[in-house]
Amino acid sequence: MRTRRLSTMPFFIIGILFLILFGTIAWGVFFESGWVTSFDLSWIERIQGSVSEGKTSFIMKITELGNMKLVIVLTIIIAIVLFFKRKYAEGLWFGGTILFCAAIGGKILKKVFDRDRPAFLQLIEKTNESFPSGHATATTIFYGLIGLVLVLAATEVWKKFVVGFITLAWIGFILITRIYLGVHFPTDVIGGFLYGIAAILLSMGVYLVVQEPLRNLLRKFKLNDQSETFERSRG
């Protein structure tokens, strides 16, 4: 994982903007605003308007690729691989982002909002809190982190565009499956997406700030970190 001459400010600024957008959606959901209800009903009708047995069977399999449990398992595997390669700082950053932002942060938000699931056509059964979508949060942060690193590491503009497009298309598809299956309102998945993007960008900004102190700390524990750390420019 490598890129060069990154400034922290764009990550913090854009991350905060996405956090504000999440807050706007969350405010409407918490106070059950009319625009939230209208928006949700409109898009549920559109997305669930063409339900079929074959499509449902396919989507039920694909949607599990955004399952929080699977994401945690994949994160552990990636962290172990990074540690094996002595990329301790990157492993801690990647694993810590998933743990604190996706798993813990997402769960806390669900408890705070305690929103009921849609009472419409549910093609699979889910009973826990609805907002923000755990699938949307986990999918956005996990695949978004990988996509962001690849975009930053790419040297050609067209490669950055292709990787960014594929990443967003994949995340968007997983999000739509949750609405199709009737287990989330559209604002649930949008909220999870906005929160996830904010978490990714803010996490990257924090990592750029603490990368050198972290590497110095690792040296005190006799861990020769070989992370190809992101170089940070001033600003």
- Helix then strand count (H, E) for the chain reads 9, 2
Q: What residue has token string 């170089």? A: 231
Structure tokens at 27: 């405010």
Q: How far apart are the first and last CA of the chain?
A: 22
Structure tokens at 221: 């524990």
3-state secondary structure of 232: strand
Reply yes or no on whether 184 is catalytic. yes
Distance CA(189)–CA(176), nearest Å, equals 8
Question: Is the CB of residue 75 less than 8 Å from the CB of residue 145?
Answer: no
3-state secondary structure of 1: coil
Question: Of residues 36, 97, 184, 199, which has the active-site annotation?
Answer: 184
Distance CA(41)–CA(119), nearest Å, equals 11
Question: Is the CB of residue 187 less than 8 Å from the CB of residue 131?
Answer: yes
Closest alpha carbon to 203 in 5, 12, 10, 7: 12
Question: Of residues 79, 135, 136, 214, which has the active-site annotation?
Answer: 135
The catalytic residues are 135, 184
